[in-house]
Amino acid sequence: MPILTDRLNRPLRDLRISVTDRCNFRCGYCMPSDQFGADHVFLANDQLLSFEEIHRLSSLTAQLGVTKIRLTGGEPLLRRGIEDLVGLLASISGNLDLAMTTNGVLLPHHAEGLALAGLKRVTVSLDALDREIFGRMNGTGADVSRVLAGISAGQVFGLPVKVNAVVRRGWNDGEILPLVRWARETGVTLRFIEYMDVGETNRWQLSEVVSASEILDRVNAEFPLTTLPPTTTGETALRFQHADGSGEIGIIASVTKPFCGDCSRLRLSAEGKLFTCLFAATGHDLRALLRGGADDATVAAAFGAIWSDRGDRYSELRGQLVPPGQKAEMSYLGG
């Protein structure tokens, strides 16, 4: 099958799959507890794509040019039997870059099985090392030691670990330097993420965004950095190396330095809706197609039509757009 390109000539390379809309954290910037309380209605089991359905869609996208698949959510380790899904996806091709983003809390129970099933690497979200700040950031009071144990478990079982930290002014910006110090000591690659206006529930304000250049200035003041070139087209992080050679850090600057021009990502929600942008309001229902008995050629044609019609570049147009409706939540469409 031909490689797909969209209206802005961007190829389809990455597929992010949300395997559940549930999470065991309530980070205020993503799933604030006052919006996702005990009465929140999550997707029912029969609404979720089955592993076989996810495998089928993933195989088709691999034929259409996808080389990287990331499992996410919600919290992907809450999906029962996740190792079985990893095994199925790993069987698509040995060359597939198969990764997962997780909050790490359940990683001590899963790291070995995931590594054995063929997961190639893991990104763990860790917004603070200070216990109180971490407890406030995750909205549940969960102790940071649990995430650190998850990171260690990943490393023990040979999964390369990257750590992502969202920086929110007034909440955890004092943790930037402690995180950098810790990453240098542990050899983990750290990436800071600018706080994004994704979804509608987090009451995002620009004043809470700590820009990439401010993060860089703060780190540079204590640890001089040099700029690194991107490793691949479409890479989301600006990369920097410690001048003393002790590892690198990255900054994902979706707000102040948007990277829509290279965006090769397609997102599949846990119920099978395909989103062409993290900031989109609606997705395309592939589950209906699958459950309606469509053959592979028909599903591949749907992928082709959706991708070739894609013109999204929300982050570049931020502020100038007429809102297309309620933006979907990140916990639903997959971070």
H helix or E strand, kind and range, residue 184? helix 176-186
Is the Cβ of residue 180 or residue 255 nearer to ligand SAM in the bound state?
255
Smallest separation (angstroms) from ligand SAM to the CB of 169: 13
How far apart, in Å, do the first and last CA atoms of the chain sit? 28
Q: Which residues bind ligand SAM (CB under 6 A)?
A: 23, 29-30, 72-73, 75, 101-103, 125, 164, 166, 193, 195-196, 198, 202, 330-331, 335
C-alpha to C-alpha distances, 41 to 22, 122, 280, 305, 326, nearest whole angstrom: 10, 29, 21, 32, 18
Report which residue's Cβ sits closest to ligand SAM: 335
State how far the Cα of 220 lies from the Cα of 211, in Å rounded to an integer.
Answer: 14
Which lies closer to ligand SAM via its Cβ, residue 283 or residue 335?
Answer: 335
CA distance 308 to 93: 25
Q: Which of 73, 74, 69 is nearest to 57 (CA)?
A: 69
CB of 194 to ligand SAM, least distance (A): 7
Q: What whole-number distance in Å separates Cα of residue 108 and Cα of residue 131?
A: 19
Cβ proximity to ligand SAM: between 56 and 257 the closer is: 257
DSSP, res 5: B
Nearer to ligand SAM, 166 or 300 (CB): 166
Yes or no: say if 165 and 193 are a contact pair by the CB < 8 Å rule. Answer: yes
Contact 150, 156 (CB under 8 A): no
To ligand SAM, the closest distance from the beta carbon of 100 in angstroms equals 8
CB of 157 to ligand SAM, least distance (A): 18
User: Minimal CA–CA distance to 140: which of 40, 27, 36, 31?
Assistant: 27
Least distance from C-beta 49 to ligand SAM, angstroms?
Answer: 17
Q: Smaller CB distance to ligand SAM: residue 209 or 300?
A: 209
Residue 63 Cβ vs ligand SAM, minimum distance, rounded to whole Å: 27
Contacts of residue 95, defined as CB under 8 A and 6 or more positions apart, other chains included, come to 67
DSSP-based three-state secondary structure for 273: strand
Contact predicate 168/152, CB 8 Å: no
Nearest distance, CB of residue 197 and ligand SAM, angstroms: 7
The nearer residue to ligand SAM, 58 or 72, going by C-beta atoms, is: 72
DSSP at 8 = T
Q: Specify the residue, 140 or 186, whose C-beta has the smaller distance to ligand SAM.
A: 140
